[in-house]
Structure 1
Amino acid sequence: MSSSTKTSGYVREEYVAPLEQTFTLPDKSTVRSTESDGSIHVFLSGSETPVLRFTPHPSRILRTSPHGIVNNNRAVTSPAVTLESAASSPTEVSTDDIWSALYTLWIRRTENEVLPIILSSASFTNASTILTYLTHTGLAFCPPDAQNEFELLFIRAAFWQGAGAPVSKHWLRTMVPHPSISSFPFPFHTSFTRGEHVLTTHPLRPPKPAPGSVIYSRYIFTLGEQLTFTHIDANNSEHFAAYTKWQNSERVNVGWREKGPDEKHRQYLADRLADPHIMGFIVAWNGEFAGYGEMSWVKEDPMGTYVGGLGDYDQGTHLLIGEEKFRGRHRFTAVMTSMKHACFLRDPRTEVVVGEPRADLPIVPRLVAYLPQELNREFEFPHKRAVYFALRRERFFQAAMLN
């Protein structure tokens, strides 16, 4: 690695939401919000009047710096916000609607890691149910300086990790195991892989969703479009035609080196489908195909062999953007960030998501600049000299541009 190569040049760009904004959730429902004088009004399911609102509390201030860690003379406090029903009388509001409202809040308060919010117990007929939902999912907790159980600290990172997300609105669209079957991650059972470049024990991997299944969906606010990842289906003529066109382009072939006849591409995709450790997917913007990506469990990947030290549930990603119209900094950052997001969401035991692009590719400086990941070192594969990138869970949910 050149001594002039920067191992970290990432600067998070803060997103400023417009005063009125509408966005689409993965289940295709919409959320509209407006903001004036510090108050946020949330409209759900096409409602003409707001369902929920966040309003500045007139006097209450709560500590937002970590309790028991930061000395009192360094403690940071913030004015509290009240979460209340927008109805004129106490009403019942579903926890699904509370989550949707929190989505609007965290898009509008991207600069905050923690927010003090007072749940208006008099505003909801099911306030105790909402409180249990918030605290038992980890979306919020009652801090030591609270005057009652309804004074809470809400955590941005918890929201983006999927805490409390309704299954119908979750960014992961085909979870394994599905929550209707089990609320726990796929169990640990030792498995084994022996291959040309791999010889290792590792956890048994969960089955992949069926080809053609949407595996991730998220509205990208900076572009106003829905980004989706769909498990590639080689028997789908549109999937296959797009994939072969991209792999046979000279630009993509510089990095992937998979140019060849249809037979080669069919075999590649068949191998991917049969291999439990890796999954390929079609990247699309508003349903229009843009590129191809892969996510893998790296313990049984050549990456695990040649780098070493990777955990049982650590993952890796690869990406190509095949369509020229979908290239560019903002789309590239959104897709790369979403791939990492999907990896961290699909197993809470994943601590690191890695990358290993060829060291001489021009994309390397962009991967330093656009993602909050560590450029660890360069290393040798049998077929290339690669750069080892490591993105850690805590750093991702603290600093990633999820907007």
Structure 2
Amino acid sequence: MPPLQLDNGFDLRPAGPADAATVAGWMTQPHIRQWWHQDWSAVRWAAVIEEQVAGGHSIPCMTSLDGEELGYVELYRVRHDRLAEYYASQEHDWGVHIAIGDSTRVGRGIGRRLLGSLAEALLRADPRCDRVVAEPDAANTPSVRAFAAAGFVCQGELRLPEKTALLMIRPRTVEA
């Protein structure tokens, strides 16, 4: 994947094992733990991040706003993910997971801005990709609202083993 240039003051960099303690701390935050269910130790997160980096399926990233780290992002090709079994995926669909770890920045529209910036960057960087997808838990109202505000359109419910999700798709062209 080519480097992504984010807009609106956001930066994105690959995560590495050295970021595991930060990610582990964020995952214990109630607003993340409730939805991610990955409040693991830093040692386990280091292993997970190393596995992701080595495998090429999912790209773990750290994101910052105006130079201050605020969250964890996973970018992935849907065709290599089990999500592809649950909807009519396209070969070049990108998927995204985000967790705003800095609790002082939750509820301020940052998630919406970050999601919009990520989607635009992925679509610019990969001309073969026509859409970016996500599958937030249907009960996670703040997340669903952020995706919708960032131009993701709800395509219905997906019954995944661990949750009922909403399939949210951000097409290359957003209707005004």
TM > 0.5: yes
Q: Given the alignment of the two structures, is residue 216 of structure 1 paired with residue 5 of structure 2, yes or no? A: yes
Please list every run of at least 4 consecutive aligned residues from structure 1 whose deviation after the TM superposition is greater than 4 angstroms: none
Q: Which amino acid aligns with 2:13?
A: T
- Give the superposition deviation at 1:365: 4.3
- 1:362 is aligned to 141
Q: Which amino acid aligns with 1:231?
A: P
More helix by share: 2
Distance in 2, matches of 1:352 and 1:368, equals: 13
Partners of 2:11 and 2:63 within 8 A in 1: yes
Distance in 2, matches of 1:317 and 1:368, equals: 11
1:326 to 101, 105, 116: 105
Partners of 1:217 and 1:228 within 8 A in 2: yes
2:168 to 389, 392, 398: 389
TM-score normalized by the length of structure 1: 0.41
2:43 to 245, 258, 263: 263
Considering only aligned residues, what root-mean-square deviation do their CA atoms show, in Å? Answer: 1.9
What is the SS of the residue equivalent to 1:394? coil
Partners of 1:272 and 1:278 within 8 A in 2: yes
What is the SS of the residue equivalent to 2:70? strand
Distance in 1, matches of 2:49 and 2:14, equals: 11
Distance in 2, matches of 1:335 and 1:216, equals: 12
Structure 2, gaps ≥5 residues long: none
- 2:115 is aligned to 336
Distance in 2, matches of 1:280 and 1:244, equals: 13
Give the count of matched residue pairs: 176
- 1:15 is aligned to none
What is the SS of the residue equivalent to 2:169? strand
Distance in 2, matches of 1:364 and 1:291, equals: 14
Q: Which amino acid aligns with 2:80?
A: E
- 1:232 is aligned to 15
- 1:287 is aligned to 67
Quote the sequence identity (%). Answer: 23
Structure 1, gaps ≥5 residues long: 1-174, 177-208, 210-214, 221-225
Partners of 1:216 and 1:230 within 8 A in 2: no
Distance in 1, matches of 2:96 and 2:163, equals: 17
TM-score normalized by the length of structure 2: 0.90
Distance in 1, matches of 2:144 and 2:162, equals: 21
Q: Given the alignment of the two structures, is residue 312 of structure 1 paired with residue 91 of structure 2, yes or no? A: yes
